[in-house]
Every structure is written in C-alpha cells, then in structure tokens.
Amino acid sequence: MDVREQLLEAAVKVFAHAGFRGATTRRIAQEAGVNEVTLFRQFGSKEGLILEAVVRAVTRLQDEAVLPEVPQDPAAELLDWTRRHYEFMLGNNRLIKAAMADAVAHPDMGCLSDRISSSIEQTLRAYLGRLTAAGLCDSDVDVPVACSVLGGVVFADAMGRDVHPQCYTYSPAEAPARYVAFFLRAIGARSSLPAPALAPEAVVHHA
C-alpha cells in the first residue's frame, strides 16, 4: 500500500471514531505511520484528505453494487444489491454518523449520507422502471414511495440497530432478505427466468 492509500485508510478510521474536530492531521499521520508534512504534501489540508477518503468509500460501494440493465431475476438481483448496501452501511456505521454529525459545521462532510441516499434512490428508480417496462412487476407501482421504503428501512436498520436493538428481533444476516422479500411482494415482482424443471423422482404419476 502506497503512502496516499495509507493516509486515506487512516483518515476514514480516525474520522469515524473522532469526528472532524478530533481527526487532527497529527492523529491521522500517526495512524498512517507517516509524518504530517507528508500528509500536507499529498492532500494539502485535513479537509481535502477527509473529503477524498469519504467520497472514495461511497464510490467503491457504487462500483460494486449494481443492478442489471436487463433484469431477469428481481429477487436475486435486489437481494445482492441490498445486501451490499446494508453491509457497507453497517460496517461504516460510525463513519456515516460522524459525517452526519459534522454536516452542519462542515457541509462537505454531509456528502457521505447524501451520496448513499441519492445512489440508492437513483439506482432503484431506474431499475424499477426497467422492471415495469419488462412486465416483471405491477405497472402501477408508486416508484418514489417504493424506493423510499426499501432504501429507508435499510438505512434505518444500519444506523439504528445498535441504538434500538429491541426493534430488531432478527439478525443482521437475516435483515436484507427480509426487507427484499417484503419489497418484492409490495411491487408484485415476477421473474423472467423459466421455472426450474422438476427432477424425475419429484414427478408424481397418477394411475
């Protein structure tokens, strides 16, 4: 890992635990195992470093979590996409909360939750449009509400599970599948894939 990568990784870690004010350049540099001069040479300022680190984290998610241009199996496609978002938000819970907490004093820091929300909204809207066009869900789906429901419940769980554990009687491992199953029923989703053929021994012959 080169110096720039070390500093970006360190900035995410320190910012998540200490917030913008506590994430001093000295602390970030120590975490990265470099001196402060190197930090300033690479990024110019603490603000520049933290912002780039935060944006990079979201960009990675957007690159990894995609929905197909030609949908075939909404259940499998949405589950994979939802699980990636949920695991990212759960794993970066402290980072996202720190960014939201510092959004007033440092508006650029609000970009993390804003980017996640807009990515979810835009991606889901486009995908639901493709499902509707392909006849793979109900034609009268209220797309904005449907997107808000799935995106909202995933975000609320990832941000609030540690604060209100009594609200979640199911484990994090179960959560994405349960949310997607509810969503699929709500939009009347169907698959374009053929039903799996029954194995010969599963066929019942009647006399």
Tell me: the pLDDT tens digits for 132-157? Answer: 999 999 999 999 999 999 999 999 99
| CATH number for region 1-64 | 1.10.10.60
Check if 1-64 and 68-190 are the same fold.
no
pLDDT band per the 50, 70, 90 thresholds, residue 204:
very low
| CATH number for region 68-190 | 1.10.357
Residue 201, pLDDT above cutoff 80? no
DSSP letters spanning 2-60: -HHHHHHHHHHHHHHHHHHHH--HHHHHHHHTS-HHHHHHHHSSHHHHHHHHHHHHHHH
Q: Give the separation between CA 150 and CA 166, rounded to whole angstroms.
A: 20
Q: Is the model more confident about 141 or about 55?
A: 141
Give 119's DSSP letter.
H
Q: Is the model more confident about 95 or about 145?
A: 145
pLDDT band per the 50, 70, 90 thresholds, residue 26:
very high
Domain ranges for the chain:
1-64, 68-190
